[in-house]
Structure 1
Amino acid sequence: MPKRKWDKYAIKAELHRQGMTFTELAARHGCHRTNISVALDRPNSTGEKAISEAIGVPAEELWPDRYPKSATSHRIYDSRRHGPCTSQKFATGADNECAA
C-alpha cells in the first residue's frame, strides 16, 4: 500500500477528525497557536512536533521535503573542505593605517 500524501489540508482535516483545534493543541504543548498554523506552510520545529504527535505520524512522513534523507545534503560549512577562517583583527597592520 502506498504511503498517504499529506498536504496542509489533509493534516488540518486529520486534526479536526480527532477533535483537536490548533488552540487546544498549542495549549497541550505549551506553545502559541501560530506555531501550529505556521508549521503547515513552513518549517517550525515546535509546531511540527506537536502536529506529528497529535496525528501519530512522524514529521518526516508529513513533510518529507523538510527532512532530507541524506544528512550531508544540507551541510552549510564543511571544515574538512575549507580551512579555518581568520579574523581581520588578527591580521598584521589591519588597524594601524590610521594610527600614524
Structure 2
Amino acid sequence: MKSLSKIIPFISLLIIIIPTLYIVKEWNNSKKYENTKLNITISELKQDWGKPDYDWVNINNSNPKDKSRVLKYKFWYGYYIFKTDTEGKKITQKFMDD
C-alpha cells in the first residue's frame, strides 16, 4: 500500500507536465513559423529549422523550367510547409497544415 501512495503523486505530476510541455512546444513552433520571413534562401531556412522531413521538387508539366521546391516540417500538431520560387532558391510562400 505504501508503494501505491508513492506512485499516485508521480502519475499526477506526469498528467500535468506532459500536456504542458506539448502546449509550450506547439506555441514555440507557432512563434517560430510566424517569425520566419519570406525571401530567404533555403540554407537560411534550414539553419533556423533544421533538416526538413520532406524536401521535393514541385513537378510542373506545363513549365519544365519550373524548379520550385517544397520543404515540409512535421510537428506534433501538423505541418509547416515552405515553397520556393521557380528557380528553387528563395522561400516565397509558407503554409500551415493542421
TM-score category, normalised to shorter length: under 0.3
The answer to which structure has the higher strand fraction is 2
TM-score normalised by length of structure 1: 0.22
Greater Rg by CA: 1
